[in-house]
Amino acid sequence: MRFYTTQHQFYCGIDLHARSMFLCIMDQSGKVLLHRNFHATPDALLVAVDPYREDIVVAVECIFTWYWIADLCSREGIAFVLGHALYMKAIHGGKTKNDKIDSQKIASLLRSGMIPMAYVYPQGMRSTRDLLRRRLYLARQHAELQTHIQNTNTQYNLPYFEKRIDRRSNRAGIGIRFTDPVVRTSVEVDAALMDAIHQQILTIERQINAQVPEHDPVAIHLLRSIPGVGKTLALVILYEIHDIRRFPTVGNFISYARLVKCTHESGGKRKTGPNNKIGNVHLKWTFSEAACLFLRKNERAKLYHRRLVSRYGKAKALSIIAQKLGRTVYTMLKRRTPYDARRFFETLT
């Protein structure tokens, strides 16, 4: 957890909503100078902070509406802090909660140097990252439809499909095998939706591929040197990380990627903490997927995986490999070196 400790003359806490924002501006002594509700517009914010522009910092909680304030502060040269929503317990723990109280608590945390910071993702890459996340959502919907077709086929005890139905050419006439017209319609609807989603995924991929040369093609090439990591996984890793230098150590990175479980310790007793979901869910998915693909056509990896399974079980074995891949990616991007199989397996225990 990182805290914003830079001192300023004025501190502005904003409880932000889609169409309104409650501002609280206080000075270094904690005196409230402004405390009122505004429409959530750039002009309203600039007018509110204008008397204090000499030395002010603005903070908002990390919810879906923060983009425009971060971009506005960047253009206007105003210091901006993005508060980590899950760590800001002072806001959620009070007996009474409303916009006015929350904005003052944000300003107080900011003034005291106790506001936990979330990463302000740069504007230039933000839209491409969000588009990649949308592609992931569509891919999951595509997989759910495919699973429904396969389950329906099993419900009626029909022969297995001879070819992979995730490919569009193999889904032609897929409803013919079902004699019940209602069931046939259900399956054909699934197939039609899969076709439509597949076309949208292709459209997204074309758009993303056009954006990649503008950012870091060398990093994409390095990531694709890992067995099983294709272009899509490499893109997700790159855009979710953005800059590997923002993680001081490999431990910070694998914690952010949810590849390790947190522990709580008190009085010499340790237990698994309740905050395992703090971190980047998209990186967690990416490395879990990469661990499965890493084992394909990789005999050395399969041998190591079997050893882990015999000791820890299948689920934990894949988690260990995913964590190792996370450590490998951190080192590769930090040193700008490609995947080294010899080094990867030498450090395995």
Same domain, 206 and 297: no
Question: Within this chain, do residues 211 and 225 fall inside the same structural domain, yes or no?
Answer: no
> Are 302 and 233 found together in one domain?
yes
β-strands 79-83, 56-61 pairing: parallel
Is 169 found in the same domain as 147? Answer: yes
Q: 245 and 322: one domain?
A: yes
Is residue 275 pLDDT above 70, yes or no? no
Confidence band, pLDDT 50/70/90 cuts, at residue 347: low
Q: Is residue 118 part of a domain?
A: no
Indicate whether 145 pLDDT > 60.
yes
**pLDDT tens digits for 324-334?**
999 999 999 99
Average pLDDT over residues 172-195: 93
Q: Quick one: average pLDDT of 87-97?
A: 75
Q: Fill in the DSSP letter of residue 225.
A: T
Percent of the chain with pLDDT over 70: 96
Asked whether residue 117 is domain-assigned, the answer is no
| Rounded average pLDDT over 42-61 | 96
pLDDT tens for each residue of 76-90: 999 999 999 888 876
Q: Does residue 90 or residue 260 have the better pLDDT?
A: 260
Out of 77-81, 167-171, 263-267, 286-290, pick the least confident: 263-267
User: Residue 232, class by beta-carbon neighbours within 10 Å (0-12 exposed, 13-18 middle, 19+ buried)?
Assistant: middle
| Own/partner pairs, 175-181, CB within 8 angstroms, 24+ separation | 177/153, 178/152, 180/156
pTM, 2 dp: 0.86
Can you tell me the mean pLDDT for 264-291?
82
Give domain status of residue 165, yes or no.
Answer: yes
Give mean pLDDT, residues 297-315. 92
Residues 199 and 308 in one domain: no
Torsion, CA 335, CA 341, CA 344, CA 349, rounded to 10: -170
pLDDT value for 270 = 74
Mean pLDDT of the chain: 91
What values do phi and psi take at 196, rounded to 5?
Answer: -65, -45
Q: What are phi and psi of 27, to 5 degrees?
A: -95, -170
Q: Are 237 and 308 in the same domain?
A: yes
Amino acid in the structure at residue 2: R
Does residue 43 lie within any of the structural domains?
yes
Residue 119 within a domain: no
Residue 226 lies in a domain: yes
Angle of helix 231-241 relative to helix 181-211, nearest 10 degrees, comes to 60
Looking at residue 136, its pLDDT comes to 93
Q: Residues 184, 190, 196, 199: is their CA dihedral positive or negative? A: negative
Domain assignment present for residue 2? The answer is no
Domain count, the chain: 3
Domain span at residue 148 reads: 125-215
